[in-house]
Structure 1
Amino acid sequence: MYKIKEAFYSLQGEGAHAGRPALFCRFTGCNLWSGKESQRMEAQCQFCDTDFVGTDGQNGGRFNTAAALMSHLDTLWPEGAAHKYIIFTGGEPALQLDDALIAAAKALQYTIAIETNGTRPLPSGIDWICVSPKVAAPLVVNEGHELKLVFPQEHLPPESFSHLSFDNFFLQPMDQSALPSDRIALEDTQTQTLRYCLQNPQWRLSLQTHKMLGID
């Protein structure tokens, strides 16, 4: 069974495909945090700004088969429009994305992307792999199309990833809105990220433009 928190059609707001129309499928669950606020500060990833608990979001639900899920998702794409692009995200999508779901998406002519923390192996057939490391542990997924690092993270300096086989390297200023006041950086994260990119031109700045535009 596939458990989906929410699904929606919008613009990709981050990284190399910022501005591209996309169908988002957000899976329930993550292997780095339960999603419960009471457990945030003890979790491996503490700054997540996404609700991935339950199946009660827009167009969310439980689906017994890959075909049933993709039939549901496909209704959200503009009727008759080409260039189908779906992003599997979470939580951690690698906990649920499998060969059957990839095959069902391909059968409907979708280009498939994933946004993953890189700690779980991925099935084959994914067209765009974006890894966003969240923990100080070796990545299981250490190559792909885009490495997007939330910055700054004291235990995850960008230079520890610079040698990996990714086509694009992005730094994204940490959204600190979910952190308690005593954990907020003295200097805003956008300024820190901009400075690092200017000093290390391998890295490019990624902003959450969907939040600036007020869209999902």
Structure 2
Amino acid sequence: MGYRVKEIFHSLQGEGVHAGRAAVFCRFSGCNLWTGREQDRPDAACRFCDTDFTGTDGPGGGVFEDAQALAAAILAAFPYPLAPLDGGGWRPYVVFTGGEPALQLTPELLDALHAHGCQCGVETNGTLPLPAGLDWVTVSPKAGTRLAVTRGDELKLVWPQDGVDPADFAGLDFGHFILQPRDDAARGAGAQAGADHIAACVRHCLEHPRWRLGLQTHKYLGIR
């Protein structure tokens, strides 16, 4: 199969439990919940989406004919040797995101990266099955959708969402529960809306300590 990739880049993980960790991000093109076209945003399950995942024209993007070709492009994006940097079990980290990576992610691609010592994580909306072999699974549920992935390492709920109660997910089998304030900048919302969402998330985490507040630190730092 061919892999359609919007971009491949090296940065720090900005969200969730691994915030601050260096990684190579592979952003697949396409999503099952939104076309990515602005005219279709009102009908999307995640109208707050802040990501351009259409096409293959981003840095490092393209169409890769097989798993080995895409793995080679991902490995080439690391600016340092892939041999362990110390004796503490360090492994280079690859994050598959989108769009929706479950549309394209395969065991063959994971195997090709594992062969070079990489740890592979995914950020998914959880509505599609995932291939075996992932080292870290982050599920970010969206309103009006049904989860096919109900266990993993991290459940990251962007909130508030209309019709979504964090309590609906608290019984699922995840190691960490992250509540991330919804950023409506892509929809033209002002700073007050963002402040209100942060306040709501802070209040919920204080009242329900199973949840941890998660911020999009890359936006505060001005990095990708």
Which TM-score bucket, shorter chain as reference?
Answer: over 0.9
Q: 1:80 to 1:187 in 2, by over 3 A?
A: closer
Tell me, which stretches of 5 or more residues in structure 2 are unaligned? 85-90
Cα distance in structure 2, aligned partners of 1:60 and 1:137: 29
Amino acid at match of 1:111: Q
Of stretches 199-208 and 102-111 in structure 1, the one that deviates more from structure 2 is: 102-111
Displacement after TM superposition at 1:73 (Å): 1.1
Across the two proteins, how many residue pairs are aligned to each other? 215
What is residue 42 of structure 1 aligned with on the other side?
43
Cα distance in structure 2, aligned partners of 1:186 and 1:117: 22
Displacement after TM superposition at 1:108 (Å): 1.6
TM-score under structure 1 length normalisation: 0.96
Q: 2:99 aligns with which of 91, 94, 117?
A: 91
What is residue 162 of structure 1 aligned with on the other side?
170
Cα distance in structure 2, aligned partners of 1:51 and 1:120: 20
Cα distance in structure 2, aligned partners of 1:18 and 1:199: 23
Matched residue of 2:25: which SS?
strand
Cα distance in structure 1, aligned partners of 2:104 and 2:42: 25
Deviation per CA, 1:158-183: give whole Å up to 9, x if none: 0000000000000000011122559x
Displacement after TM superposition at 1:105 (Å): 1.1
- Tell me if 1:208 matches 2:216: yes
Tell me, which stretches of 5 or more residues in structure 1 are unaligned? none
What is residue 118 of structure 2 aligned with on the other side?
110
Amino acid at match of 1:172: Q
Displacement after TM superposition at 1:185 (Å): 4.6
Cα distance in structure 2, aligned partners of 1:181 and 1:76: 35
Amino acid at match of 2:111: A
Cα distance in structure 2, aligned partners of 1:160 and 1:66: 37
Displacement after TM superposition at 1:100 (Å): 1.1
What is residue 66 of structure 2 aligned with on the other side?
65
Displacement after TM superposition at 1:43 (Å): 1.6
Displacement after TM superposition at 1:207 (Å): 0.3
Question: For the aligned residues, what is the CA RMSD?
Answer: 1.5
What is residue 77 of structure 2 aligned with on the other side?
76
Deviation per CA, 1:12-54: give whole Å up to 9, x if none: 0111001111110000000000000011001222110000000
Of stretches 79-88 and 67-76 in structure 1, the one that deviates more from structure 2 is: 79-88
Q: Structure 1 segments of 4 or more deviating over 4 A?
A: 184-187
What is residue 175 of structure 1 aligned with on the other side?
183
% identical equivalent positions: 52
